[in-house]
Chains A and B, each alone.
Chain A
Amino acid sequence: KNEVEQSPQNLTAQEGEFITINCSYSVGISALHWLQQHPGGGIVSLFMLSSGKKKHGRLIATINIQEKHSSLHITASHPRDSAVYICAGLLSSGSARQLTFGSGTQLTVLP
């Protein structure tokens, strides 16, 4: 069983639409990262959250600790937002703190 479950797997939107990607996680995860991965592989960390809400430009990330649920929102989506979005939980494993990843959401924003 994966500690991080993400949905939807694929999402297609029209330019300008409001987008939400959801992530549920299990006990033991102390913080959540939202990551963006473009074709070619490079991963960019968008947010790291352990409580509340963070905003950066058109991106908003929220986390509900009680429900173990996080969402990534994109307002006024644009074709350049097309990428794979991954949520990753920070998990303590012995003395290491590793990231455990969701399966990713392939977002395509059409002009």
Chain B
Amino acid sequence: ETGVTQSPTHLIKTRGQQVTLRCSSQSGHNTVSWYQQALGQGPQFIFQYYREEENGRGNFPPRFSGLQFPNYSSELNVNALELDDSALYLCASSPVRGLGTFFGQGTRLTVV
């Protein structure tokens, strides 16, 4: 039990729709990162939030956006879903910008 919880665990969406994934961070962790893991591949960094501000972004288009709330929970929003967005989305929280990272169980998104 890492204290990082993600919801939902599984989700099926249609191409073109929008989706919101949620993450509740480990208590006391003010940094949250989101990763996309396609089937058979390692996770890829989407972006990181620190104290409610985005402070780093990987090679993902603007239709991937996020929010971090005052209680340090977080959302990942994806607009105009594409088939290639089908993946496991992982949330990871840490107390200080990437040290001691704890992962959630992930949300499996399938776009049909």
Restricting to B69-100, which residues have a CB under 8 Å from any CB of A?
88, 90, 92, 97-100
Cβ-neighbour of A95 out of B37, B42, B55, B58 (below 8 A): B55
Q: How far is the CA of A99 from the CA of B93 in the complex (A)?
A: 12
Q: How far is the CA of A15 from the CA of B7 in the complex (A)?
A: 36
Number of B interface residues in the complex (CB < 8 A): 30
CB distance from A94 to the nearest CB of B (A): 6
Please classify the interface of chain A as helix (H, G, I), strand (E, B), loop, or mixed, using the class held by over half of its residues: strand
Residue of A with least CB distance to B33? A98
Cβ-neighbour of A99 out of B98, B105, B108 (below 8 A): B98
**Are A99 and B97 touching (Cβ within 8 A)?**
no
Per-residue B-contact encoding for A42-80, CB less than 8 Å = 1, 0 else: 111100100000000000000000000000000000000
Restricting to B15-38, which residues have a CB under 8 Å from any CB of A?
33, 35, 37
